[in-house]
A and B are shown apart, each in its own frame.
Chain A
Amino acid sequence: MTDPANNTPAIEMQGVTKVYGSGNTRVIAIKDIDLTIGKGEVVALLGPSGSGKSTLLSAIGLINPPTAGRIMINGTPVMDGPNEMVNIRRYRREHIGFIFQKSNLIPFLTAIENVLVALAIAGTTGRPAKKRATHLLESLGISDRANNLPSALSGGQQQRVAIARALANNPSLLLADEPTAALDGKLGRQVMELFRDLGHTSGAGVLVVTHDQRALDVFDRTIHLEDGVLTNQHEASTAH
């Protein structure tokens, strides 16, 4: 018997528009976006600077409410225009993992403590939290650096700790904003492959904003944003 929950998209956006300012200063950052990302699907978001990628990502991440349109996560309506349908902060905590261009690790905490913070925010503490954090660092191949401060880690290792932190609470949606921009080509590709493997094994929908054209073959689908409008979408077979 198939589980109907498995067919529910990780994220679904209908007619999402974001307008900044008003009157003469009115700017439409994204316009009428319809986007669906399935569970376990790994999608790249491409577009030139100023095309609205960050606005789209922050709308999906429930950081910046849209002016109009509807956002659903796991089939649950979470935003209807600027109106919050659920407790947004709790939803971010339980359902969304963020990864950035810079690792954004807390500099005075060790690698494992950075992961433990995410778990503590969601209410997991003590031995179960430590077990989960250790498991995540092991699975990402950096358990030997668990007690190092971020300053003692390489760029790739820092990014892996950031990924472990994003995965700490088993998010159904993983959002990454140019996660390989600070990494060299080979390391960047490894991180992209890691996203693909994570998406496919954990079942989380993964959306990666990237400029890196060299690793597009890693993704199930690429979508292009231009002047705030989705221009085209390619399945993996036609994207490269």
Chain B
Amino acid sequence: MALILYTLTLEKIHDIALLKLMGAKNSMILGLVLQESFFLGAIAYGIAYFLGDLVFPFFPRRVIVTNDMLIWLALAVVALCIAGSSLGIWKAIRVEPNEVLA
């Protein structure tokens, strides 16, 4: 996850430098990276939920997923998204605006 987000951030490094050149605050840049991370996290959560629904009936023992477990899993995904995006955020915050001119 961290590697994917880091690569996605690297791909947009020029655009991030441009936003900084235009005066964007670090919080805005941070928000953009986190948004992407949460978006990916939500997709992964949805796929996992439906995939689970499809394959659990074929498991040798019954799998019970309670609402509490789903909530805890969602919170875990949020935490993983934040942790996973930290490398991308670190890179994005360090980008100098003059990289646009390069």
Binding site for B on A (CB under 8 A): 54, 58, 61, 63-64, 89-94, 98, 100, 104, 106, 117-118, 121-122, 165, 177
Chain A residues positioned under 8 Å from B101 (CB to CB): 54, 58, 63, 100, 177
Beta-carbon contacts under 8 Å, B61-102 to A: 96-98, 100-101
B21 touches A92 (CB 8 A): yes
A94 touches B98 (CB 8 A): no
Q: Which of B14, B19, B98 contacts A117 (CB 8 A)?
A: B19
Among B23, B25, B96, B101: residue with most chain A CB under 10 A: B23
The residue of chain A having its C-beta at the shortest distance from the C-beta of B12 within the complex is A106
Q: How far is the CA of A54 from the CA of B14 in the complex (A)?
A: 18
**B42 on interface, CB distance cutoff 8 Å:** no
Give chain B's interface secondary structure class: helix
State the total of A-B contacts with C-beta under 8 angstroms. 46
Please list 14 pairs of residues, one from A and one from B, whose beta carbons are closer than 8 Å in the complex, sorted by A's number.
A63-B96, A63-B97, A64-B98, A89-B23, A89-B25, A92-B23, A100-B101, A104-B18, A104-B100, A117-B19, A121-B19, A121-B22, A121-B28, A177-B101
Please give the distance in Å from A89's CB to the nearest CB on chain B: 5
**B53 on interface, CB distance cutoff 8 Å:** no
Given contacts A106-B15, A106-B18, contact A100 B23 (CB under 8 A): no
Among B15, B22, B97: residue with most chain A CB under 10 A: B22
The residue of chain A having its C-beta at the shortest distance from the C-beta of B25 within the complex is A89
B18 touches A63 (CB 8 A): no
Give chain A's interface secondary structure class: helix
**B24 on interface, CB distance cutoff 8 Å:** yes
Please give the distance in Å from A133's CB to the nearest CB on chain B: 14
Please give the distance in Å from A104's CB to the nearest CB on chain B: 6
The residue of chain B having its C-beta at the shortest distance from the C-beta of A97 within the complex is B22
Q: How far is the CA of A72 from the CA of B86 in the complex (A)?
A: 37
Chain A residues positioned under 8 Å from B18 (CB to CB): 104, 106
Chain A residues positioned under 8 Å from B20 (CB to CB): 89
B22 touches A100 (CB 8 A): no
The residue of chain A having its C-beta at the shortest distance from the C-beta of B23 within the complex is A93
Given contacts A100-B101, A106-B15, contact A90 B21 (CB under 8 A): no
Q: Which of A54, A58, A64, A118 contacts B22 (CB 8 A)?
A: A118
